[in-house]
A and B are shown apart, each in its own frame.
Chain A
Amino acid sequence: MQTPDGLDDLYQDIILDHYRSPRNQGVLEYPHLHGEGFNPFCGDQVDLTLTLSGDGRIDGVGFLGQGCSISQASGSMLSDQLKGKTIDEAEEFVRTFKGIMQGSDVSQEQEEELGEIAALQGVKQFPVRIKCALLSWTTLQDAINEYRKTVS
C-alpha cells in the first residue's frame, strides 16, 4: 500500500526528525521552573525543566517525554527555541502557538518567530491531535504560573 494522502501534512519530515531524536533530552537537576504534563487519555507524558541566568533569561532546558510523535516532536521543538527568552517572552510564545493551534491566523512575523515549529500547523487538520501538540506548551505555562507564585 502507498502512503495514504494527507499524512505528509501531519507528519512532516521535521516533525519526524524531532520525534526520532528529541533535543535537550533530560531533566535538569536544579531547575528554576519545572512542569510535568500528562494526558491520561493517550498516556502522553512530558517533563520540562528550565534554568534562568542572572538577567532572567532561560539558559538551560531539559525535556523528557513519552508518547505519540506529535506530542514528543512538539515538546522537542519547543525546548529548542526557549533559550535566551525571558519568562514574559516565553509566555508570549506559548500564547502565539496556542492561538495558532486554535485557529487564529498567523502573521508573517509570527510565522518567522515560530521557525520550524510552524510545521505543526498541519496538525490543525486533525482536531483530536491538537491536544497532543499543545501538551508541552500548557506544561510550560503551568511551570511559569508556579514560578510566578513562588517569586511574587
Chain B
Amino acid sequence: MYDVSVIRNDFPILSRQVNGRPLVYLDNAATSQKPQSMIDALVNYYSGYNSNVHRGVHTLSMEATDAYEEARQKIATFINAPSPDNLIFVRNTSEAINLVEYSWAAANLKKGDRVVATEMEHHSNLVPWQHAVAKAEAELKLMKMAEDYSLDLSDLDELLTPQTKLVAFTQMSNVLGTITPAKEIIAAAHRVGALALVDAAQSVPHMPIDVQDLDCDFLAFSGHKMGGPMGIGVLYVKREVLEEMEPFLRGGEMVLEVTYENASWADLPMRFEAGTPSVADSIGLGAAIDYLTTLGMDNIRQHEVKLTSYAIERFKEIEEISTYGPGDMSIRGGVMSFTMGNVHPHDIGQVLDQAGVAIRTGHHCAMPLVRSRLHLPATARASFYLYNTEAEVDSLIDGLKTTLRFFGDANTRRA
C-alpha cells in the first residue's frame, strides 16, 4: 500500500523547519529531495570502497567498478533499455542533450536540414538546437502549444519534411505539466527518416518509461530530479545510432589504444565517458532507482495525479488565481504554474517561504514559453513528488490566501 506518511520518514529533510514552520517542499520540478537509502549509498561508497574504476586490479577498484556497472544495469532495467551499453553517464539532462548535439548533430545536420522541437521546451532542449542549426545552416521549427496547453499535433505532417533530421521534444513540460504524446511523435519522426530525442527530465522521475516501447533514438534525464544525487544524469541512445557517433570528450577511459600520434576508441558506452566518472553519484542514482522501484512508478504516478487533481480543485477557491496547464490529468504531471492577480510571483514566493512553503517563481528556464506564449513576465510554480500530501497543498492554499490579504488592494493596482 502507498502510505505517504510512512514514505515521508524515508526523507530526512522533510522533518526540518523553515522560518519556524515545517518545510513544505513544492519545488520538485527543480530538484527532488533524497531518501536516506540514497544518502547511505553515497556514504557507504566513500567510507567503504572508494576507488577509481576500470583501471585497477585491486579489490577496492573491482568493488567500485562492479557497483558502478551494476548501477548502469539498474537504470537500463528501469527504463527497459535493451542493454546497459545503451546508457552514457553524464552530469545532467543538459549535458546529455549537448552530447547529442556535438556527437551526432554536428556530423549529421547539413545545410537546408531541419530540426523540430516544441514551444514548450526547457532552454536545455532549445539552445543546443539553435546552436546546431546556426552552425549547419539548417532550420529549427516548433510544434505549437494548443489553447488547452496540450501539444498541437495538427500541423505535424507539414512540420516533418523529408529534410527533417531530428525531432527533439519534452515528454513533460516543466512549466505546464503537459505530457506530450511521445510515441506518436516518435513514429511520425521515423516516417520521414528523422531521429527522435526525448527530453525526459520531468517524465522519468514521475511515470513509468519504456524506451523500447517508445522507440526513441535518444532519451535524456537527470538523477537529481528522481531522488538521486546532483551531478549525475543519463543519456540513452539506440545501439545503431550510438555506433555511428563520434566521441564527445576525449582523454582517459574512453580509449582502447593510444600512440603518440593516434588513438582508437574504447567499446561502447565507455567511448563517451572520458575521464574519471562520478562513481559515487552513479551508485547513488542506482539506489534512488531501487527506492522508486520499490514504491512502483505506477503508484507514484497515481499518487501525483490524485494530489494534482486535489490542488486544481483547491486553487479554484481563490478567484484571483489563473493556472496554466491541461485540465485533463491523463496528459498532465504534478506541475502547477499559476499567477495571482497582480501580485508578482516573487512576492508570492517570498510570503510562502516565510510560511515554510517552497515554490519556484520566474520563467523556469523556459523564457520563450512564459513570455511569448503565456504572455507573462513570470509565473509561480508548485510541483509535487511522491512524498507530498494534501495537507501540504492546504498549507500552500493558506499561504496564498495570506499573500492576497497581505498585498491587499495592491491587487487592484494598475494592470
Q: Flag the segment in B74-82, B268-276, B354-362 that touches A.
A: B354-362
28 contacts across the A-B interface (CB closer than 8 A):
A3-B402, A3-B406, A4-B19, A4-B402, A6-B354, A7-B350, A16-B408, A16-B410, A19-B410, A20-B409, A20-B413, A42-B344, A42-B346, A42-B361, A42-B362, A42-B378, A43-B362, A43-B363, A43-B376, A43-B377, A44-B344, A44-B346, A67-B346, A67-B377, A68-B344, A69-B344, A69-B347, A129-B350
Interface of A is mostly: loop
Query: How far does the alpha carbon of A10 sit from the alpha carbon of B19 in the complex, in Å?
Result: 14
Residues in chain A near residue B378, CB distance under 8 A: 42-43
Asked if B346 and A1 sit within 8 Å, CB to CB, the answer is no
Query: How far does the alpha carbon of A100 sit from the alpha carbon of B345 in the complex, in Å?
Result: 26
Output the least CB separation between B398 and chain A (Å): 4
Asked if B20 and A5 sit within 8 Å, CB to CB, the answer is yes
Q: Is B2 an interface residue (CB 8 A)?
A: no
Chain A residue nearest in CB terms to B361: A42
Residues in chain B near residue A45, CB distance under 8 A: 377
Output the least CB separation between A64 and chain B (Å): 10
Q: Is B21 an interface residue (CB 8 A)?
A: yes
A residues with a Cβ closer than 8 A to B are: 1-7, 10-11, 16, 19-21, 40-45, 66-70, 126, 129, 132
Q: A4-B354, A43-B363 are in contact. List 4 more A-B contacts (CB 8 A).
A: A6-B19, A10-B350, A20-B408, A70-B347
Asked if A41 and B362 sit within 8 Å, CB to CB, the answer is yes
Query: How far does the alpha carbon of A126 sit from the alpha carbon of B351 in the complex, in Å?
Result: 12
Interface of B is mostly: helix
Q: Among B21, B350, B361, find the residue whose CB has the most chain A CB atoms closer than 10 A.
A: B350
Asked if A132 and B346 sit within 8 Å, CB to CB, the answer is yes
Q: Is B399 an interface residue (CB 8 A)?
A: yes
Query: How far does the alpha carbon of A4 sit from the alpha carbon of B406 in the complex, in Å?
Result: 10
B residues with a Cβ closer than 8 A to A are: 19-21, 344-347, 350-351, 354-355, 361-363, 367, 371, 376-378, 398-399, 401-402, 405-410, 413
Query: How far does the alpha carbon of A65 sit from the alpha carbon of B341 in the complex, in Å?
Result: 17
Asked if B346 and A7 sit within 8 Å, CB to CB, the answer is no
Chain B residue nearest in CB terms to A20: B410
Asked if A5 and B407 sit within 8 Å, CB to CB, the answer is no
Name the 6 nearest CB pairs between A and B, nearest first. A43-B377, A4-B354, A68-B344, A68-B346, A1-B398, A43-B378
